[in-house]
Amino acid sequence: MTIIETTKMTSKGQVTIPNRVRKLLHLQKGSSIAFGVTKDGIVLLPCEVTARSPYTPKEWQKIEKMASEKGEVFSDDGAAKKHLAGL
């Protein structure tokens, strides 16, 4: 492994990626970075982060149905939770 630059960590665990490394990896403001741990140390890689829905297609159908219907008003949170559980 070739060491190109070194840096120090702040009290909050933050480090500045040296300019030479940022240029080598084509990192810019807002770039996403993945960290891997190996037996020899840490691997830093540029990566793409993509959004993934927290809901299944079936859950989205229920949500869309609820959104398209006229809203209901519940007297308390218990009634609302009971309604949601039955969906």
pLDDT score, position 85: 83
Domains belonging to the chain, first-starting first, are 1-50 (2.10.260.10), 51-87 (no CATH)
Q: Taking residues 56-80, report their average pLDDT.
A: 78
**Confidence at residue 2, expressed as pLDDT on a 0 to 100 scale:** 76
d(CA 24, CA 42): 17
- Residue 47: pLDDT above 90? yes
**Predicted TM-score (pTM) above 0.75:** no
Task: Report the share of the chain in percent with pLDDT over 90.
Answer: 38
Summarize pLDDT for 9-43 with one digit per residue, the tens.
Answer: 999 999 999 999 899 899 999 999 999 999 988 89
Q: Are 27 and 46 in contact (CB under 8 A)?
A: yes
Residue 36 has phi, psi (to 5 degrees) of -120, 145
